[in-house]
Amino acid sequence: MDEERKNFLLDCYAKEWDPDFLKHRDFKEDGSYLKWKKGGLEVKGDPIRVDGKDPKVDGEGLRMFLRDYDDERPLCGAEDVDVFCKSVRLEDILSTEGPANAKRNVWLDDRSRSGEYREYQNPLTPYTLLQSLDEPRFDNKWKPDADRRRMLFVDLDPYHILVLAETASERQVPVLRDAIQKHLGLETSLRVNIPLKGISMFHLELHLPYFALRKSTKPAGSHARNKRQCIDLSFLTRCSNYRPSEPTYKIFEAQISFIISGWEDSRWVAWSFIDNYFEEEELLDIDGFPYKRFVEDPIVNGELDQNDPLVNPREYFLMILKVRSQQVLEEWECVVQSVKHNVKRYVCSRAVFCSNETRITDGKAG
C-alpha cells in the first residue's frame, strides 16, 4: 500500500478523492449476482429453475434482489418495491410481443476507455435491454469493453426493475436497491459515499423530487402504476363556461434520480430514473440515437453530446447536478407563481362577488 493511500484510509473524515480511483486497476466485476446465487441454490439441490419459464423463479429473483444476501428479512423500504412489482414476471419480458415490451423508454450507452462504443438501437424495450445487459461487460469476444456504462430509464416501471435485478453484479445490487427505493419513495438526497470496507468504490447519488404544473386532461388521482399522484387545480382557474373535457391545470408528483458508481475514474456505471408521464411528448426520440454525429445526451437534458461524453465521473455528476437542479428550481418557481397568481385572482373575484351581493341586499333592504 503506497503512502498516499495509507494516509487517505487513516483519515476517514477527509474530504478527498481516494487516490486508488485515479489508477487503472485490474478489477473487472461482471456477470449477474442473481444468476450466481440461483446457480448456488441449484447445486444445493434446490428445485428452482433459471430459464425464465417458471413463475417461482421470477418471484424468487426479485425477492433475492430485495434481501441482503442470505438474510430472509426484506430490507427497509423493500416492501414498497415488492408491491410495485407485484405480478410482474420475467416470462412476460421474454415474450417479446407482450405488453411488457410495448414501450421503448430506455437509453443505454457503453464505451471503452479508448472511446470505442457498443452500438444499440436506442431507445430499448425491457427485452432488448435484458439482451444487452446479459452480454459480458468485459472481455467480450465481439464487442469492446463497457468500461463506462450509462443508462436512462423514463418512467421507471416494474419491468425495468426486474431487468436490473436479473443483470446487476454483486456490488451493484445494494446501490441499485437503495436508488430504486428512494426514487419510488420521492426521497431527497445528495450524497457521496466511499465505503471503507472491501474493495474501494465510489457512489455518487442525486434524488430530486418536485411538482410539475401542466395543463392536462389526465384525471386527478394515482398515475404511473399508483406510484405518483396528480392534484387537480381547476378550482383556481375554472370559469363559468368550463367544460369537463377541457384541459385544466394539475400538479404532478415527479422525481429525477441519478446514481454513478465505480472503482476508478475510467470504469463506472451510471443509472438515471426520470419521470415524464405527465408530458405530451416522449423524452427519448423513437427515431434513434446515431453514433456518427452530434446527439443530445438525454441524461444531461441535452447539454452534452452523447458521442463526446465527459469521462470523469465527478465532472459528469456535477454537470447533471447543475442542469437538473436548475430544471427542478424552474418547476418549483412555476408552481409557486402560478398558484400565487390564481389564488390572488380567486380572492379578488370572490371579493367582487361578495361586494355586489352586499349592494343588492342593501338595495332590497332600502
Q: How high is the mean pLDDT in each 10-residue block of the chain (366 residues)?
A: 58 76 85 76 41 45 72 67 85 79 91 94 94 93 95 95 92 93 95 86 96 87 84 71 68 96 94 94 85 92 91 96 97 90 76 56 52
The number of beta carbons lying within 10 Å of the beta carbon of residue 167 is 21
**Pairing state of beta strands 267-274 and 189-193?**
unpaired
Q: Tell me what pLDDT residue 100 has.
A: 76
- pLDDT score recorded for residue 55: 39
Query: What is the span of the domain harbouring residue 12?
Result: 3-209+255-365
Asked if the structure places residue 221 within a domain, the reply is: no
Q: What percent of the chain has pLDDT over 90?
A: 48
Return the pLDDT at 56.
Answer: 43
Cell of 216: 392536462
Q: Residue 106: inside a domain, yes or no?
A: yes
In a domain, 338, yes or no: yes
Q: How many CB atoms lie within 10 A of CB 351?
A: 10
Decide if 357 is inside a domain. yes
User: Would residue 310 count as lying in a domain?
Assistant: yes
Number of domains in the chain: 1
Report yes or no: 296 and 305 within 8 Å, Cβ to Cβ.
Answer: yes
Long-range contact set of residues 325-328: C-beta below 8 Å, sequence gap at least 24: 325/208, 327/256, 327/301, 328/208, 328/210, 328/256
The pTM for the full model equals 0.85
Cis amide linkage into residue 290, ω under 30° from 0: no
Are 225 and 249 in contact by the 8 Å Cβ rule? The answer is no
Task: Answer whether residue 226 is part of any domain.
Answer: no
188 belongs to a structural domain: yes
Inside any domain, residue 305: yes
Which grid cell is 226?
399508483
Residue 4 confidence (pLDDT): 60
Are 204 and 194 in contact, with CB atoms under 8 Å apart?
Answer: no
pLDDT digits (tens, 9 = 90+) for 158-215: 999 999 999 999 889 999 999 999 999 999 999 999 887 778 899 999 999 999 999 8
pLDDT of amino acid 155: 95
C-alpha cell at 120: 444499440
